[in-house]
Amino acid sequence: MNKDKIFKLAKGFRGRAKDCIRIARERVEKALQYSYRDRRTKKRDMRSLWIERINAGTRLQGVNYGNFMHGLMKENIQLNRKVLSELSMHESYSFKALVDVSRNAFPGNKKVALPPKKEGVSIVV
């Protein structure tokens, strides 16, 4: 039954959109459109999430994301960002080995090992 299928897909919707067929039909169609669109945007979002995580992991070692990836490309290491983000979270020693390899291949960040200094604050180095 078409109505039953619509109500099944409309579970958890707000207000009358889960109870009344005229409103539910519209909302379900919209939900399916969004899911079609978001299956494509999910790939983009995940990639930016991985890049954020890799950035955080490498900055702990004193290298930023751009120089890290440049060093990996130079060394012809073909690990993708998904795996690199997983390694940076769970396998810290392996990730550190990767960061060292990248640093040797492209030493772009040798000077910047500390976070930027703020003015007016005395820092004991």
Partner 1 sequence: MASTATAISVSATSSPFKLSLSHFPKKNYNSSFLSLSKPSISHSLSSRKSIFTQNLSSKPSFSLIPKFSESEAPVIEPEAAPDPESTEIETGVEVETALTQIVEVEKEVPKREEIFAVVMIGSRQYIVFPGRFIYIQRLKGANVNDKIILNKVLLVGTKNSTYIGKPVVTNAAVHAVVEEQGLNPKVIVFKYKKKKNYRRKIGHRQPNTRIRITSITGYQDYPATTLET
Residues that bind partner 1 (CB under 8 A): 29, 32-33, 35-36, 39, 75-80, 82-83, 86-87, 90-91, 93-94, 97-98, 100-101
Q: With respect to partner 1, which residue has the nearer C-beta, 18 or 75?
A: 75
Q: How far is the CB of 29 from partner 1 (least distance, A)?
A: 6
Q: With respect to partner 1, which residue has the nearer C-beta, 35 or 48?
A: 35
Q: How far is the CB of 13 from partner 1 (least distance, A)?
A: 16
43 class by beta-carbon count within 10 Å (0-12 exposed, 13-18 middle, 19+ buried): exposed
Q: In angstroms, rounded to a whole number, what is the distance separating the alpha carbons of residues 49 and 45?
A: 6
Q: How far is the CB of 118 from partner 1 (least distance, A)?
A: 35
